[in-house]
Each structure stands twice: as C-alpha cells, then as structure tokens.
A and B are shown apart, each in its own frame.
Chain A
Amino acid sequence: MTAHRLEARGLTLAYEARTVAEGLDVSIPDGRVTVIVGPNACGKSTLLRALGRLLKPVRGAVLLDGQELARIPTKRIAQRLGLLPQSPTAPEGISVADLVSRGRQPHQSWWQQWSPEDEAAVAEALERTSTAELAERSMDELSGGQRQRAWIAMTLAQGTDILLLDEPTTYLDIAHQVEVLDLVRRLNVERGRTVVAVLHDLNQAARYADHLVAMRDGRVVAEGAPGEVVTAELVREVFGLDSVVVPDPVTGTPLVVPGAPWAARADAADAVDAVDAVNAAEA
C-alpha cells in the first residue's frame, strides 16, 4: 500500500473576516500518528478542517500527493483521505452496519451500490473496531464509546490511507478514551495508516503520537517527537501553565504535571517552590 503525503504550505485560514491562522507550514509524516495540540481556539481544529478540505484556505494550499486539494475531485480525495468530525450526526434509528456501509460511498456508483469488495471492507472495519457484535443494533442504543467505535469503523470502511480525527475522545470517559486511542494506534501499526488527530489532553498526545504539532494563536510553536518537544518550557509557552514534566511511569513518555492547585497562602508558596525546584534540577 503506497502512502500519500499530506502537506500544508503557507496556509492562511479564516472564518469570514476573522483570520485564525497565517502562513502555516505543516508536513504530515507518512505511516505515523501525528497529534495536533494546543489551547482552545489556537486553530488546531481549523488546521485539521483545512487538511480535510472542509475549509478553503484564504492563501496557501494543502497538497495531497503533491497536488492541490482544491484541484482534486472531492470523491477522489475521499478515496485517499477519510475524516471524522468532532461531533458527527447520523440519521435517527440507523443501525451500526448501515452506518458503516455508508463509508463505502466514495467507491460506489449508481450501478455499483454494494459490491463484494464493499461487503468485505465493511466486515473488516466492523471486525477491527470490535463493533461486529453491535452491527444490528441501532446507533441510538449505544454508549458513547461504542458509538465512537462505530464512527471510526465507518471511516475505516472508506479504506483510505490517511485518517483525520477531530478530538475523537471528547465526551468519553477515561476508559473509553483509552479504548479509542488504543484502537487508533493499532490501526496505525497493523495497517500502516497515517493518522492525524486533534487531542485536548497533552499527556494522551504524548503517549500516542509519533509526531507532535503544538499550536498557539494560529502558529506552530513546536513540532517533533513528543520526547523532544514536550518540556515545561513548551507547556508554559503554549498553554501559559506552570508545570513539571516527568517521565510517564508506564510508557516513559513526557507526563505533564500542572503546578499545585490553589491553596491557602503558605502552602501555595511551598508548591510554587516545589515546581521551581524540580524544574531547576532538570535544567
């Protein structure tokens, strides 16, 4: 399977008159999990929307295999690049299998509505996301985590090399968050899919990303492997938060521990001292 390269060159993105990002250059490494992080309204979801041709850049271009997205027919894009928006909505009462089967749309035509290949792709997508046993159930009956797995199954059935996921863990409890992120990691490793995800949680990003893109105010502040990028310095620069970065006891990836919570004065001073002490020792 040949992987396609996705790049953004000199992107300026805006909603109406409000410019969200200017002059963005981002290259998405093939076959890797790239996670975009940053504070609210930093433009991370906007960047993802532009990568998925949901938002037309004011200037610059998104290139897919060296070709400008705006010049590729949208159905051809859909055969190479799948996307899952932040809160997708499905028609009322639709079954999981029906939903997932609709991911095959870009491969179908009026005279090829349900080929054996479609069937195989849907079966595999259900299998991989462990939603096969839910296939007959209605989406309305599922838990948040199950529903999100079904949506991921739909984008998988689309059979694209590149997957864009906009905050796939929002509204999920921690167990389901881990379940979804593990699934994404597995798809990447076992199927070599290129994944670009926007995540809120910096620690999860550090755990699951091969490549981290940190944004603030519409600019890319830092880019690279989480182990090199995530430092107390960066957390302060990007989120404006004092923190201590320690190795994650399980994975060894950077773990961001925020400064002490607000407390009565004397304790607070101690806590600030503690943060400073750890960071000084690191330096």
Chain B
Amino acid sequence: MTTVALRGYSVVRAGRASFLLHRRSALAAVGLLLALTVTVVASLCLGESTVSPGEVVKVVLGQPSPDELVVGEFRLPRVVVGLLVGAALGLAGALVQTVARNPLASPDVVGVTWGATATVVGLMAYGVVGSTGQAPYAAVGGGLVAGLLVYALAWRRGLHAQRFVLIGIGISVALSSLTSVFLTKGDGFQAQAAKVWMTGSLNGSGYDQAGRLAWVLLAALPVALWAARAQRSISFDDATAVGLGLRLDRIRLGMALLGVVLASCAAGAAGPVDFVALMAPQIALRLARSAQVPLFCSALTGALVVVVADLIARRLLAPTELPVGVVTGMVGAPYLMWLLIRSRRGGS
C-alpha cells in the first residue's frame, strides 16, 4: 500500500482506532500552558505585598503558609476567575469566528456581549437586582437572546457570514444605546456600580463565579471536541463542506450557540471584558499555524491574555486597581483597527 505523509501531523493508531494530531497546535498548547503557569504564579506573587513563589505554591497546594490570607483569599479567586473568563472568551471567539469565517467576528462584535450588558445594567439601574453579582443568569439570558436574534436575522436559506457580522454590529450599536438610556434614566447610585461592571472587572471576584464557569467550560469540552473535527470541513466554502457530508446548518447553529453561551457566562462572571474573544483566536491561529482557528489553543490564549491583563490592571496604577477590561481594551482597539485596515487591503 502506498503511503502519504501529512506534513505537520502525527498519527496515532491503535487497532482500528486512529487519531490525527496537528503537531504545531500541540506544541503551541504546551507552550501556552507553561506561559500560563508562570503568569499565574507571578500574578499570585505580585501585589501590595510581594510573596515568594515558594509560598505561593504552598498555598495553592493547600499547605499551611503565613501568606494564606493574601494569596489564598484575595489573589487566588481573582486569578482563577480571570483564567476561566479568558478561556471561555477565547473559545467563544474561536467558535464564532469559525461560524462566520471572519476574523472580525467575535461575541463582543456581533452583539452577544452587549445583550448581556444591556440586560444587567437595565436590571441594576431600575433596582430589580441589588448588585451585578446577582445577575449572572440574566447576563446569560440577555446574551443568548441577542445572539439568537442576530443569527435569525442573518439567516437567508442558510447562514450568510457577511450578513452575520454586519447585523451583529448593528444590534451592538442599538443595544449600547439602550444601555446608555438605562444608565442615564435609572437610579444614579446603582448606575455607577453598573458602570464599573461594564468595563469588565475582576475586582472582588470569588469562588462562586469560578465554580459556575468551571462547570460550563467542562460541559463545553465534549462539544468543542466534536466541533474541532467538524472544523476540518467547515473551513471550506459551503458547497464543498456539504459535499463532504457536513450537516452545515446544524453544526453552525451548535457552534454559534456554544460560543454565545460561553461569552454570556463570561460576561455574567466579570462583565464584558472587551476584545479578548476577538484577539485570542487570531493569536492562537498564528502560534499553531493550523489551517483553521485552533479551539483549545484559543481557550489557553484567552486565559493567558486575561491573566496578564489583570496583572497589569492591578499593578499599573497601584494601589488603584483598574478594571481588566480597560487594559484589554487598550490593546484590543488598535488591534481591531489593524484588522480593518488589513481586510480593506484585501487580506484574509
């Protein structure tokens, strides 16, 4: 039998089973994991008081340490939530970009994040809930409704990728206006609290947020594995993908739905942390040099971006702690402009 070498892939065979592994994606994942470990430890060490890495490791492993309070109670929950929010956003972005076949598409661009924001701010400003922390489910609901609305409006005998992005931008603008109305018309004091949440903040994050997000991510894992296989043909044009036996409409809806749920959950936990879902998949794509946006690497990149951004947000103007969304926004906005300029020149 003639054989053919698939450049860049490793094959693992056992009996009738066989698995294809994109080597560079695996390598990138290992590298990202290492970088993530280092930044997590650094993030736990640095702060108003500096803690040695040795003590940090002790606390994380649950051994007694004099720094238990600072590291275990103050810093660790925040880092864990940041990690999970970043992973959820990275994965959500990768899924939405795959569905839309467009690096400009992401849950924050196509209206999902604004759906969550408008809902939470509205509930806060009119006193339905006392604090943003009480509204994670409302955020998920708002995000889902906005996401499905965009999806339905972009539907015309199948999903039209360009319409999807444009309608999403339109809905985002409408929802951001609505949010402004809530902020100006609602209760002033509550609106102030909502504003802080709106920039995307990990200040005061706790384990209850982390627990919920962890469950969602765990549930998303098998779906993501299934999606990763479908990605091999979904990255072609529609006709070719259908020709290869893909149930395109169902798979796209499934991917978009998972992306929307993940992004809404992230917003529910930390508010809208801008641009992470947009940037992370594209960074991961360049690291993995794969033909399609790598899902697992995107999640890791998202986690890394948020943890690093939060570290900067905490230390840049210390002792004032900035919301993490301010930092990701400062990096993300120029990136978005660069993408727009590049795509106008006829790039990808």
Contacts and interface: CB of A to CB of B under 8 A. Distances in A.
Interface residues of A, number: 52
B17 A16 contact: no
B235 A91 contact: yes
The number of chain B residues touching the other chain, given as a range, is 35 or more
A148 interface: no
A110 B228 CA distance: 10
Nearest to B347: A92
A139 to B, nearest CB: 10
15 contacts: A52-B242, A54-B243, A78-B244, A82-B243, A88-B240, A89-B240, A97-B5, A98-B291, A103-B244, A105-B233, A106-B245, A112-B16, A119-B4, A122-B4, A123-B4
A102 B237 contact: no
A84 B7 CA distance: 24
A222 interface: no
A135 interface: yes
Interface in A79-110: 79, 82-85, 87-95, 97-98, 101-103, 105-106, 110
A211 to B, nearest CB: 22
B217 interface: no
A137 B258 CA distance: 35
Main secondary structure of the interface of B (DSSP, over half): loop
B225 A110 contact: yes
B245 A74 contact: yes
Interface of A: 15-16, 49, 52-54, 74-79, 82-85, 87-95, 97-98, 101-103, 105-106, 110-116, 118-120, 122-124, 126-127, 132, 135-136, 155, 158
Contact of A126 (B4, B157, B244, B245): B4
Contact of B17 (A74, A90, A112, A122): A112
B291 to A, nearest CB: 4
B4 A97 contact: yes
A260 B225 CA distance: 63
B296 to A, nearest CB: 15
A278 B128 CA distance: 89
Contacts of A16: 157
Given A78-B243, A98-B7, A116-B1, A110 B226 contact: yes
Q: Which of B2, B5, B16, B240 has the most CB of A within 10 A?
A: B240
A84 B236 CA distance: 12
Contact of A97 (B7, B239, B240): B7
A93 B347 CA distance: 13
B239 A88 contact: yes
A69 to B, nearest CB: 12
Contacts of B157: 15-16
B3 A74 contact: no
